[in-house]
Structure 1
Amino acid sequence: MAQTLSREELANELDSAYSKLDVLLDGVGEADLYDAIAVDGWTVHDVLAVRVWWAEAVSEWIAAGLRDENPQTPAAGYKWTQTPALNQSVVEASAGTSVRELRDRLEAAVKLLRRYVETLDDDQLLSVGVFSWTRTWPVSRWIAVNTITQYASLSKMVRRLLKSANQL
């Protein structure tokens, strides 16, 4: 996802990626595979928790930017070079969180990000440097890499698991 998407492309791809993932996650539930290892020792539940966290984080960063605040990215106590440790902390913190809660939070985060795609003006959504936290990327790209790209990778993991469990 190197190029910057237009507002319409971003909205369409976000809707599509989320819808496909949502359907696949229904299949994971039906096959009782949320505790199956998806990648690098992480379960589907773990990967979902990380995907939720990033969608919520981008939503919070956008909200902070709209309030003329500069949020600490990626998170308090973490540098960008420490995202593997951050992701692991998300996995550990979400261990007791139900799949239903994670899916509800994901849906809410996607709806909020979708609302930002619709309501931010063109400059806020598509220009570089509008918010200090965006650095060299427009907000649209931050949304895309933390949703569309991430949902596609989780969908691929889930399809592989469902196929190996003969559920696809």
Structure 2
Amino acid sequence: MARPTNKESLITLSQSSFNKLLSLIDNLPDPKAEFPLGTMNRNVRDVLGHLHHWHLLMLEWYKTGSKGEKPVMPAIGYSWKDTPALNKKIWEDCQSLNLQEVRQNLMTSYGKIQELIDNHTNSELFEKKKYKWTGSTSLGSYLISATSSHYDWAFKLIKKASK
């Protein structure tokens, strides 16, 4: 499916990509198995934790931006060029949790992201420069990155690693 350009396609693609990912995981012979060497995210838990934390970042950016403030992106203490270090920190934070806990966290943050999308009109989501905090892009663009694009990345990583 093409990159969403309206609310309906954003909802459809984010939900279908998420469900496709969960279906892949649910059909793995051993979702707790370690992936082959070569990726930082070494198992399904790590990947789902990564998605959950990026949901939380998106929600925080939105909350801060909605107050008329400029959110720190991607996170306090990190610039966009530091994304690998941020992802490593996210990975470290997930190590004390089990797959079931991380999956439940992801389901909760996914629900909050879907609610955020549902609560906006098409123009609120896709009009560029509508919100000062999104700069020259749209809220929808941020949400695509936090949902369908990220779910596709996770699907491809898990599928490749589980072969």
| TM-score (norm. length: structure 2) | 0.87
Kept after mapping to 2: 8 A contact 1:21/1:151: yes
The 5 A counterparts of 1:71-150 are 71-150=71-150
Alignment partner of 1:70 is 2:76: no
Where does the alignment leave 5 or more consecutive residues of structure 1 unmatched?
Answer: none
Kept after mapping to 2: 8 A contact 1:129/1:137: yes
Aligned-partner residue type, residue 56 of structure 2: E
Where does the alignment leave 5 or more consecutive residues of structure 2 unmatched?
Answer: none
Deviation for aligned residue 1:91: 0.6
Q: Given the superposition, is the C-alpha separation of residues 37 and 96 from structure 1 closer, same or farther in structure 2, using an over 3 Å criterion?
A: farther
Look up the SS of the partner of 1:63 in the other structure: helix
> Hey, what's the Cα distance between the residues in 2 that align with 1:126 and 1:38?
39
Aligned-partner residue type, residue 157 of structure 2: M
> Hey, what's the Cα distance between the residues in 1 that align with 2:33 and 2:5?
32
Kept after mapping to 2: 8 A contact 1:73/1:133: no
Deviation for aligned residue 1:4: 5.1
| TM-score (norm. length: structure 1) | 0.84
Q: Given the superposition, is the C-alpha separation of residues 39 and 6 from structure 1 closer, same or farther in structure 2, using an over 3 Å criterion?
A: farther
Deviation for aligned residue 1:26: 1.9
Partner of 2:26: 26
Count of matched residue positions in the alignment of Structure 1 and Structure 2: 162
Q: Given the superposition, is the C-alpha separation of residues 35 and 87 from structure 1 closer, same or farther in structure 2, using an over 3 Å criterion?
A: same
> Hey, what's the Cα distance between the residues in 1 that align with 2:53 and 2:157?
18
> Hey, what's the Cα distance between the residues in 1 that align with 2:23 and 2:39?
23
Alignment partner of 1:158 is 2:158: yes
RMSD of equivalent CA atoms? 2.2
Q: Given the superposition, is the C-alpha separation of residues 22 and 38 from structure 1 closer, same or farther in structure 2, using an over 3 Å criterion?
A: farther
> Hey, what's the Cα distance between the residues in 2 that align with 1:138 and 1:17?
21
> Hey, what's the Cα distance between the residues in 2 that align with 1:37 and 1:92?
19
Q: Given the superposition, is the C-alpha separation of residues 10 and 39 from structure 1 closer, same or farther in structure 2, using an over 3 Å criterion?
A: farther
Deviation for aligned residue 1:142: 0.6
> Hey, what's the Cα distance between the residues in 2 that align with 1:137 and 1:68?
16
The percentage of aligned residue pairs carrying the same residue is 23
> Hey, what's the Cα distance between the residues in 2 that align with 1:152 and 1:161?
14
